[in-house]
């Protein structure tokens, strides 16, 4: 079960990062493509970390 939570956290965090960055790219013509790519990777890592922490908290609460 732990592997499933970790997989969900990583995939969900990465997806949130790409969606957020794509929205930023469509909204603003100011940032260059390399900055959008860096933001996507950063947001994905942050999102994955937050989802992992939430999953760990849920797992601890339900055992």
Please give the pLDDT value at position 4.
72
pLDDT by 10-residue block (mean), the chain, 63 residues: 67 67 59 63 66 71 75
Please give the pLDDT value at position 49.
67
Written as one string, the DSSP assignment of 5-63 is HHHHHHHHHHHHHHHHHHHHHHH-SSS-HHHHHHHHHHHHHHHHHHHHHHHHHHHHHH-
Please give the pLDDT value at position 59.
75
Please give the pLDDT value at position 57.
75
Instruction: Tell me the domain boundaries of the chain.
Output: 2-62
């Amino acid at each position: 079960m732990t592997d499933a939570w970790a997989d969900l956290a990583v995939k969900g965090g990465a997806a949130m990062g790409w969606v957020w960055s794509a929205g930023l790219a469509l909204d603003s013509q100011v940032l260059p493509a390399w900055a959008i790519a860096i933001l996507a990777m950063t947001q994905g890592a942050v999102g994955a970390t937050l989802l992992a922490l939430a999953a760990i908290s849920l797992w601890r609460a339900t055992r």
